Each structure stands twice: as structure tokens, then as C-alpha cells.
Structure 1
Amino acid sequence: MIKLKLCICLLSFVFMLLFSVFTLFMGVNLLFNSMTIFLEWELISINSTSFVMTLLIDWMSMIFISVVTLISSMVILYSKMYMSNELNINRFIYLILLFVLSMVFVIMSPNLISILLGWDGLGLVSYCLVIYYQNSKSYNSGMLTVLMNRVGDVMILMGIVWMLNFGGWNYIYLVDFMISDNNILIVSSLVILAAMTKSAQIPFSSWLPAAMAAPTPISALVHSSTLVTAGVYLLIRFSFVLNSLFIMKILLLISGLTMLMAGISALMEYDLKKIIALSTLSQLGLMMMILSLGLSDLAFFHLLTHAFFKALLFMCAGCMIHYMSDVQDIRNMGGLMKSSPLVSLMLNVSNLALCGFPFMAGFYSKDLILEMFLMMNFNLLVFLLFFVSTGLTVSYTLRLLYYSMFYDFSMYSNVSISEDYIMLGSMMSLMILSVVGGSSLSWFIFSSPSMIYLSFHMKMMVMYVIFLGGLFIYFIIKLVFKFHNYLIKFYKLVMFMNYMWFFSSLSVYGLNYTFMQIGFKSLKVLDFGWFEFGVGQGIYSNLKKFSLINQIVQFNFLKLFLMIFVIYILISIFLMILL
């Protein structure tokens, strides 16, 4: 049985890795030859109506599938040891494979109906993965995740219905017609709302930290290249009709606020996995912002580079939690630099890439995004949202490193820390990609250089922001230790920042409370009140009483008939007096 489990893990790993290499070479070939392949498969034809399955194979879809399958293969290899004590490891691997298959459907579909197939599959399988550890917390998190993603599914369904006006659902074929049509605003709004739910933008942000109830390998897959990136990828595919619309300016503001909210919340958080989840939320906000500015290629570039270092970051977090006897509070960590040097090295590399440190993977995309933004003509609010959020990324990253690496070891003395080489092997490949992936992808995607003309200080703005973010967290940590008792007075402000500006409470408790109160009152007044008396048991008891009275009448007692006769005479006399 154990050999069978290992065999399924290894076969899945090898298949994913080989498929990743194949799709990478295919994507590079399509990119250099400027080719796009359409595959159409006619499922059924009735009279003049044909149901056709269409697949879009171009450089973007192939390179993205390559990244998804590569990270999936590393996650499967990592899970082999991380989930080694799990009895149902085969079920876990099958769920991962289903998850990747759903994502491939989303990536390769130029058709809204087949996109819905993968889109709904992502939501369903993510629910199964979030409730994998069966307890009340996982169940609540899973319900929040699946119900909030259902909002996006409904938007896609409404978009499918509305696209009947264009005569088909293959949006790639309808580019010229859709741009010139007045109804495009409605379809675009539905697509943007669907993408906002899947990519957890305000006000749909609360499900993303809640999804941390899933096993850590799943978090590495979900938060790097699959579930949360589906919304961004959908907007990249629809960018040809979205760029000229006013609604993109609203998306710019919402995504900027999401970046800011996630950065501030991560500064206040002590749960290791939630800090990394909030950093994912911040990066998704950055991708949405750059998409709303019309730079879809740049958003796709950052999507790929972010996938490498975010998957590595979650894997490092999983190792740290594994070593610390399943403790996730960063205040109980510390001194990991001495006890597990290789994990510390990889954590540092992924964190530096996240911050946009020069010549790491994140630098090539984030620096280019910020420089292209500086070339545009936008107001001070958008400028501050961009750069303050980037500075906050550095701040919460350095805070995490301080507590986990340089802080004193605060765990029990009997905790033994030992590094596993299979887990380290899967992480090592992602560490290499976190260093060289950005430059390699930039050579592929941007074969001709972009013209960026900035003054010296604007060119160095990214470096200034990184330095100020580090300086800010240094003073914050000093103040927290020095004025801890005084800061307790501002606990309401701290709670506001820590609980994602209360969006998590508003989207769950705030929406449910009114309906729960109405339900409770209806239960009390109707179900246990008038309905109980007049319907159901009430009908039964009343009919029973009437039948008993009728039965008594049917006994033909002389006394009873005489009494009824007397009552009849009295009523008649009374009515005669009244009249």
C-alpha cells in the first residue's frame, strides 16, 4: 500500500515535470514564430446548431501552463514528505491533479462556457482542499471560500447569457464587433466583478486569508499560480475591450486600496501563513492596478515571476511550521538561521524577490511596473497607493525575517529541528527560478526593450521606497518594544488594521446577521407560532377536536338533543327580541 502511494506521487511528479518542459518549449516556439493555434472539436450537431469545444494555444497560454505544472510538480514532490503521515495521500494527489486540470481549462479556453467549466472546478476543488483537515475552523473557512467564489460564478453565467447578443461565446472571434457595441459595458462589468471575486479584491478579500486552513502545500499552489491568479488572467484575456472603459478607473482605485489594506494588515499579523496570504493579496492588487492602466503584458510578466517566489515562500513557511511542531505564531519562532540554515537561505531569497531587490525575479517585473507607471500622467492619490504599498511590502517582509531569523528562540526546549532533503530539493529548484526566472522571462516576453525616460531621482524611486520601508519597520519594532503598554490604549485602531479594515467581519457576520435575525423571528413567530397553530400539527389537532365533537353528536343521546333544542329556542327568542 505504501509503495502504491509513493508510486502515484512519483508518477504525478514526473508527468507534471515533463508536461511543463514540453509546454515551455512549445510556448517559446509559438512566441518566436508569432503563431497562434486554434483547436476546435465538434461535440454534437443538431440541425443547424453545433456545440464546439475550442482550445486557444498561443505563447501566453503555453508559458502559463508550463509555470503552473512546474510549480504543481514541485508541490507534489514536497507533499510526498510533508504529508507522509497522511492516510489518504492518494486522495490529496488526485485533488491536486483535478485542481491543475481546472486551471488548464481556464487558461486554454477562448470560450466563456468552457471557462466556466474550469472556473467552477477551481471553486469546487478549492473547497474540498480547504476542508481537507476536518474541523469546524476548516469547515467555516471552506464555506466562506466557496460561497464568495460563487458570486464570481454567477457573474460569469450572467456574462454568458449577455454574450448571446453578440451571436456566440468565443470572445476571440468577436473582437471588432464587441469593441463597437454599446452593450460591452455590461459584459465587461460582469467579467471584472467575476475577476474581483476570484482574485479577492475589496470587498471580496476576506476569503483569501481564510483559505489558509488548507494544508500548506495547497497554499503554495493556490496562492502562487492557480486559484487567485484566474481572475487576473481572465482580465488579461479580455484586456482588448476593457482598456478604453471608464470602469477600469474604478478598478484602479479598488485594487490600490486592496494593496494598501493588505500591506497594513500584514504589518499587524502574527500568523505566519496569514502574513504570506496578505502579501499575495497585495501582489494581486498590484497586478490589477497595472492591468487597469492598460499594461496587460506587464501584468502577465509579474504574474509569472510572482508565482515562483510565492510558491517558495509558502514551502519555506511549511518547513518552518513542520519543524516547530505545527506552531504558526512568528513570536514563538526565532533563531532559525542557526538551526535550519538552508530553509533560512531560501526564505531570504524568496523574501528579497518579493521586495523587488535588484536582480531577483521580482525586481524585473516590479521595477518595470513602477517605472512604466511613473511615465504615465496620474494623480497623487494613485502615486501614493502604488509606492506606499510597495514600501509596506518591504516593511512586513523585514518584520517576518526579524521574528523568524534574528529574534531569540521562543519555542519549547524539546523541539528537534531536522531538514528533509526531498522537501529541500523541491524548494531548491524554485529558489533558482526566484533568482534567474525574472531575467529569463523578460528576454522571452519583451524581446524589444521599452523606452523609459525618467529623471535620476524618479529612476531611483524604487530604491528609495525599499530603503524607507526598511527604516519604517525598524522604528516600528523599536516603538512596539519600548511603548507597548502605551500602545494598548489604541487597541481599536490596531484591531481595525489587523482585521482587514473589518471587511472580513462585514462580509461574513455583517451580511449574515440581518438574515439570521429575520430567520430567528420567523421561526419563533411563524414556525413555532401561527403556523404551528393553523398548519401542520394545528390542522391535525383541530380536525381531531371537531371529529370528537361530531362523534359525541352521533351517539344520539336524548339529553344531548334536548340541550341542543333548548339552546336553539333561547337563541331564537334572543334574536326576536333584538329584531
Structure 2
Amino acid sequence: MVFCMIYFMSFLILSMLSFFLSLNFMSLDYSVILEVELLSLNSNSIVMSIILDWMSLLFASFVLFISSMVIFYSHEYMGDDLMINRFIMLVVMFVVSMLLLIFSPNLISILLGWDGLGLVSYCLVIYYQNVKSFNAGMLTALTNRLGDVAFLMSIAWMLNFGSWNYLFFLDFMYKSIEMEVIMILMLLAGMTKSAQIPFSSWLPAAMAAPTPVSSLVHSSTLVTAGVYLLIRFNFCMSEKVKIILLVIASLTMFMAGLGASYEFDLKKIIALSTLSQLGLMMSILAMGGYVLAFYHLLTHALFKALLFMCAGAMIHSLNNCQDIRFMGGMINQMPLTCSFFIICNMSLCGLPFLSGFYSKDLILEFVSMENLGVYIYMIYFVSTGLTVAYTFRLIYYVVSGDFNHYSLNSIGDSGITMLKGMAGIIFFVVFMGSGLSWMILSTPYFICLSFLMKMMTLIVTAAGAWLGLEMSLMALSDESKSLDLIKSSMFFGSMWNMPYISTYGVNYYPLSEGKKINEAMDQGWSEYLGSQNFYNYLSYLSGFMQIFHNNNLKVFLSLTVMWMVFLVFMIL
């Protein structure tokens, strides 16, 4: 308990300090780059650079606040774990890696935080040490390694500029071919970390980690690292790169919304909703609204962290059951947790006037103002409708209806430590959206739309809520058992077959070819002409010599007789 409380209080104090510093920097329009010399050898010096501006300090304050609440919550959730101190240390390492990434203007130090996130996330995903978590951990680590390779290549390309401090070159060198290549590599790195198509399958797989880790990963750390990096690099994005990112991110948003509408695993539904919101952030970033992307990043971090905490409390009470079909009527057993759960879900939908509304509604109106064609407009609003659909479906299955779990149970809002951890965030989920809009958007966005387009967000939200309830009722009917519907649900529910492609599709052909090569070469010709043939020849020679060793007396006597006969012939 003492160990948890030390880190909880430290992170909370640092979070408050970082928040007030960011307010000060924002009001003064001030930023600082600190350079700490670590080592000086002859004329070479190794310098650690740190950037302090309103963006890095504000994001760091959110990361520290959410991680402090998660550590406090973990004390009870992971209370039965004998190695809880090890778990807390892993979480702390995770947060420190993220802070290193946030405060670094230097690609080398960013890589330390970036790789730190990848390695510690592997340790956390395989924490429960079973086959499922090992597979999920390997998929997570290997997918993220692709982004790490892109990062290393961009570090090599930065040698053209003579420094790895990218902030010095963004404003002046953005039209050079080197910076274009670096931007494409950074885009690849950001897409792997933030799980955009075709790297999306690791995100739901990473749900094998303990729920407090999921709460931290999916709100403010691992998956948001890619978005934050691209927000920093947004000034040197060319038009082609922006269009590519816009198409991929919008498809990711749509695909995740469809997948969540067919999923029955509570944590995976929330994970897919994270993927959908990441697509939203990436696509608005591609349109040039990097401040809007950052704004939604912060509001999303709050309600998504609490959403996972509520899901964790439910799973904890339901004896580790995650299937929403076994829940139902939870409002009667866990009224406070379900209240938090519903508020977070409403914030995710963009219900006025919760925190998610301020950023999401502004993003949709910004898209309506842009001249981007019918595809982007349609996919944005359909994806928003799907968000509301799977949210209402989730609420229908979990909160309302009849209780579908064991009749003998001990479900209730009994975990006072977990409830305190959740209550620490709920205030910010309700009020922080409006607070951030005053802070971040110093100049208000001017939105000029017709009445119908202005109301389109509300219409789509209402249509999505209706669709979600209809899908829930249809799943209980006999029509849901038709073969065509099962096939379509398998396709849409499996993220367009992406997990099969990225695991079975990647593994099957190399392994089958390897088996053939093994049979033909290693156990075939190379064996016959190489080691096996060499062994046979040596065996033959050693057998031949064995004859002499076994009959050495006879051979000696025979040679003696032959020698004497030879002497007799010589004398004669």
C-alpha cells in the first residue's frame, strides 16, 4: 500500500505542477528548450534536450494525473497479486517512457521513450503469462517494431541536417527532399503506434493485459504516442502525405466502428472505440487541424481511462467474465459504477455538454466547413453514427434488461479504493471539455453552416442510438441465425479479416516453405552430401582401422613371417 501511495501522490503533485506551468506558458506564449550536457569528450558533447511548451506540459499533466488514478485503482484491482510491486514498477516505467517522448525535441531521446513504450508494453501484455497473452504480446511487439525501424531510418536521414533536433528544421527545411522522406517515415512510425490500417490488429489483442494497464494504454500513453508525434511534425506534412493519412485514418475510423458493433467482449469493444477515436484524431490532423486533434486527444484520454476503469470494476465483480451477454441489469447491483460508465459513454457519443461534446462537435463542424468531397463527409458522419450505435448497444447489454450471470454472486460497489480512483476522474470527464476549450482555443473557430448541416451531428447521433438498440434486439431474434448474417458479422466483426492476415497470413507461408526447405535441404541433399556423408565415410574408415586393432597380434605375426621369408629370398 505504501509503495502505491508514494507513486500516486508523486504523480498527482507533478501533474498539478505541470498543469499550472502549462497555463503560465500558454498565457505568455512562451516555450523553453533546455540542453543538459551529459558527457563531453574532446570537442564532442552529448546533450540531452528537453522542450517545455504549453502542449508538452499540458499533455504531461494529463498523463501523470491519469496514471496516478490508475495506480491508486490498481492497489485494489491487483490486490491479490503477490507481485503487485513489480506491476506498479512496470506502470511507472511505462509512464516515464511516455514523458521522455513528450518532452523530447530530439529524435534520439524520442527513440528511447518510443522503444521504452514498446518494450514495457510487451512486459505488461504478457503479464498473466498464458498462451493468449504471449501471442498478443508478440503481435504487439512485432507490429510496433516496424515503426521503430522507420524511426531508426529517419534518424539516419537526419544526418543530412547535422543535428537530430527536428524542431530547428521544421519551419525552414519542410520543402527539402530529406524532410519529405523523414516525414513519410514518421508517418509510418505514427501509424504503427496508433494502430491505423493495416497495423490495427494489435490493438484489440493488447487487451490481454490487466485492465488498469488497458486504461492507461488506451487513454494517454502508448496509442496516443503516434498522434502526438505527428502533431509535432504536422508543419512539414506535404499535401500528398496529408491525403494518404486522411484516407487511411477515415477508413480506420469506419472499420473500428463496424467491428465494435459486432463484438461481445467488453474490453475489446472499448478498445475498438479507442481505434475509432484515433482514426478521428489522425484524419482531423491530416486536414490541418492539429490543435483540434490535440484537444480531442486530451478529452478522449479522460473519458476513455474512466471507461476502462468501470469495465475493470465490472469484470472484477463478475469473476473475470468479459462477455457482455452474461451481464445485464448491472445498474441494480453496481449503481455508482454504472453511473460513471453511462456518463463516459455519453461523453464518447458527444452528448451535450460533456467533455467529449466540445471537441467532437467542433471537429464535425470543421469537417462540414471543409471542401473535401462527399466521401470524407459521409464516412465521418457514418462513423459518428456507428460510435453512438455500439455505445447504446453496450449500454443496452450491460446496464439494462435482466441479469444473466450466476444466481450465486457477490456483485456490488464494494471496492471503495477502486471507486475513489474512478471518482477522481469523473469531475474532469464532465467539466474539462469546456475548460480546455477556453484554454487551448484562444481564438474561437468561426463556424458558418446552414441549419440542416448544423443539425446533422444531432440527427446522426439520434440515428446511431436507434441503430444500436435495433442491432441489440435483432441479435436476440431468430433472423440473426441466418447464414448470410453470420458470414457478414464474421467479416465485419473481425476487423475486415485483418487479425488473420497479420498473424496466420504472415506465419503460414514462411512456415510451410520452411518445412519444405527443411525436408529437401536440411534433411535431404545437404544432409546426404554434408554431415551424413562425412559421418558414413569416417565410420567406414574407423571400421577398417578397427579390423587392424582387433587382429593386431595376427597382423604382427604375419608381418614377421613375411619379413623372414623376404630375408631368406634376399640371402639366396
**CA apart distance, 1:450:** 1.4
The range that moved more, 474-483 or 72-81, is: 474-483
**CA apart distance, 1:544:** 2.2
**CA apart distance, 1:168:** 1.1
The aligned residue for residue 381 of structure 2 is: 387
Counterparts of 2:49 and 2:38, CA distance in 1: 10
Q: Does 1:233 align with 2:228?
A: yes
**CA apart distance, 1:337:** 0.8
Map 1:37-56 to 2 at 5 A. Answer: 37-56=32-51
1:208-244 CA-to-partner distances (Å, cap 9, x unmatched) read 00000000000000000000000000000001101x3
Write the letter of the residue equivalent to 1:209: P
The aligned residue for residue 487 of structure 2 is: 492
1:499-532 CA-to-partner distances (Å, cap 9, x unmatched) read 1000111011111111111111122222222333
The aligned residue for residue 365 of structure 1 is: 359
**CA apart distance, 1:46:** 3.4
The aligned residue for residue 472 of structure 1 is: 467
Taking structure 2 as the reference length, what is the TM-score of the superposition?
A: 0.94
Counterparts of 1:32 and 1:343, CA distance in 2: 38
The aligned residue for residue 477 of structure 2 is: 482
The aligned residue for residue 340 of structure 1 is: 334
Query: Does structure 2 conserve the Cα–Cα contact (< 8 Å) formed by 1:334 and 1:407?
Result: yes
The range that moved more, 48-57 or 71-80, is: 48-57
**CA apart distance, 1:418:** 2.5
The aligned residue for residue 569 of structure 1 is: none
Counterparts of 1:388 and 1:458, CA distance in 2: 14
1:260-304 CA-to-partner distances (Å, cap 9, x unmatched) read 110001000000000000000000000000010011000000000
Map 1:94-173 to 2 at 5 A. Answer: 94-173=89-168
Taking structure 1 as the reference length, what is the TM-score of the superposition?
A: 0.93
| Aligned pair partner of 1:192 in 168, 182, 187 | 187
**CA apart distance, 1:191:** 0.2
The aligned residue for residue 567 of structure 1 is: none
Write the letter of the residue equivalent to 1:165: N
**CA apart distance, 1:21:** 0.4
Counterparts of 1:295 and 1:411, CA distance in 2: 46
1:444-466 CA-to-partner distances (Å, cap 9, x unmatched) read 10122111111111111110110
Query: Does structure 1 conserve the Cα–Cα contact (< 8 Å) formed by 2:51 and 2:103?
Result: yes
The aligned residue for residue 308 of structure 2 is: 314
Write the letter of the residue equivalent to 1:212: M
Q: Does 1:213 align with 2:208?
A: yes
**CA apart distance, 1:24:** 0.4
Query: Does structure 1 conserve the Cα–Cα contact (< 8 Å) formed by 2:171 and 2:236?
Result: no
The aligned residue for residue 294 of structure 1 is: 288
Structure 1 residues 518, 335: CA separation in 2 closer, same or farther (over 3 Å shift)? Answer: same
Query: Does structure 1 conserve the Cα–Cα contact (< 8 Å) formed by 2:216 and 2:305?
Result: yes
The aligned residue for residue 564 of structure 2 is: none
Structure 1 residue matching 2:375: 3-state secondary structure: helix
Q: Does 1:83 align with 2:71?
A: no
Write the letter of the residue equivalent to 1:511: V
Counterparts of 2:83 and 2:204, CA distance in 1: 25
Map 1:403-418 to 2 at 5 A. Answer: 403-418=397-412
Query: Does structure 2 conserve the Cα–Cα contact (< 8 Å) formed by 1:38 and 1:57?
Result: yes
Structure 1 residue matching 2:405: 3-state secondary structure: coil
Write the letter of the residue equivalent to 1:543: L
Counterparts of 1:440 and 1:367, CA distance in 2: 15
Counterparts of 1:8 and 1:475, CA distance in 2: 48
Counterparts of 2:80 and 2:475, CA distance in 1: 40
The range that moved more, 470-479 or 210-219, is: 470-479
**CA apart distance, 1:538:** 4.0
Counterparts of 1:220 and 1:53, CA distance in 2: 31
Structure 1 residue matching 2:35: 3-state secondary structure: strand
The aligned residue for residue 575 of structure 1 is: none
Counterparts of 1:502 and 1:101, CA distance in 2: 35
Q: Structure 1: 5+ residue runs without aligned partners?
A: 1-5, 562-579
**CA apart distance, 1:553:** 8.0
Query: Does structure 2 conserve the Cα–Cα contact (< 8 Å) formed by 1:480 and 1:487?
Result: no
Counterparts of 1:542 and 1:454, CA distance in 2: 89
The aligned residue for residue 458 of structure 1 is: 453
Write the letter of the residue equivalent to 2:265: D
Counterparts of 2:288 and 2:68, CA distance in 1: 33
Write the letter of the residue equivalent to 2:216: L
The aligned residue for residue 568 of structure 1 is: none
The aligned residue for residue 531 of structure 2 is: 536
Query: Does structure 2 conserve the Cα–Cα contact (< 8 Å) formed by 1:178 and 1:184?
Result: yes
**CA apart distance, 1:177:** 3.5
Structure 2 residue matching 1:422: 3-state secondary structure: helix
Write the letter of the residue equivalent to 1:539: F
The aligned residue for residue 249 of structure 2 is: 255
Q: Does 1:269 align with 2:245?
A: no
Counterparts of 1:403 and 1:280, CA distance in 2: 20
Q: Structure 2: 5+ residue runs without aligned partners?
A: 560-572
Q: Percent identity?
A: 53
**CA apart distance, 1:313:** 0.3
Write the letter of the residue equivalent to 1:441: L
Write the letter of the residue equivalent to 1:305: T
**CA apart distance, 1:43:** 2.0
| Aligned pair partner of 2:423 in 428, 432, 437 | 428
Counterparts of 1:125 and 1:117, CA distance in 2: 12
Write the letter of the residue equivalent to 2:67: S
Write the letter of the residue equivalent to 2:540: K
Query: Does structure 2 conserve the Cα–Cα contact (< 8 Å) formed by 1:166 and 1:178?
Result: no
Q: Does 1:396 align with 2:393?
A: no
Structure 1 residue matching 2:49: 3-state secondary structure: strand
The aligned residue for residue 180 of structure 1 is: 175
Structure 2 residue matching 1:39: 3-state secondary structure: strand
Query: Does structure 1 conserve the Cα–Cα contact (< 8 Å) formed by 2:125 and 2:207?
Result: yes
Counterparts of 1:400 and 1:477, CA distance in 2: 9
Aligned-residue CA RMSD in angstroms?
Answer: 1.7
